[in-house]
């Protein structure tokens, strides 16, 4: 049994196999994930677990080069967006929600949380630790 860090076996394995420039997407409960795109389902019920809690746990172990969110997040969910900025070490880049959805098939995996905030989706671009 692991002593600390990511205890969920699929999340731990995902972070361990992530390579430079690959992407991992953290998603709210409603993001449509294309068929064939690897996914890890974490949602227990509406709001559980919250995306920011999962993000914090992933960021403790994953080297992140940059972050991308949909610009609609800032507009439609400003309070959540402000909390997101407090969680990240860098300011996220922005794309449209449609472009974010179009990027899903190229992701190493999509982690679906129980988050119920509109447009609460985050693309993590993996970095390298040297």
Give the Cα-Cα-Cα angle 53, 54, 60 (nearest 5 degrees). Answer: 95
Instruction: Characterise 81 by phi-psi region: left (phi > 0), alpha (psi -120 to 50), beta (else).
Output: alpha
107 closest CA partner among 121, 90, 123: 123
DSSP β-bridge partners for residue 19:
none
Which residue numbers are catalytic? 20
Instruction: Characterise 119 by phi-psi region: left (phi > 0), alpha (psi -120 to 50), beta (else).
Output: left
């Amino acid at each position: 049994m692991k002593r600390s860090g990511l205890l969920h076996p699929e999340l731990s394995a995902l972070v361990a196999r992530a390579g430079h420039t690959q992407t991992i997407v953290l998603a709210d409960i409603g993001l449509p994930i294309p068929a064939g795109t690897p996914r890890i389902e974490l949602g227990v019920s509406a709001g559980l677990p919250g995306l920011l809690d999962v993000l914090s746990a992933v960021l403790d172990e994953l080297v992140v080069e940059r972050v991308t969110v949909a610009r609609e997040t800032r507009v439609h969910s400003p309070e959540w967006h402000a909390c997101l900025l407090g969680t990240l070490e860098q300011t996220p880049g922005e794309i449209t929600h449609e472009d974010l959805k179009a990027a899903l098939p190229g992701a190493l995996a999509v982690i679906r949380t129980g988050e119920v905030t509109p447009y609460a989706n985050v693309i993590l671009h993996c970095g390298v630790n040297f």
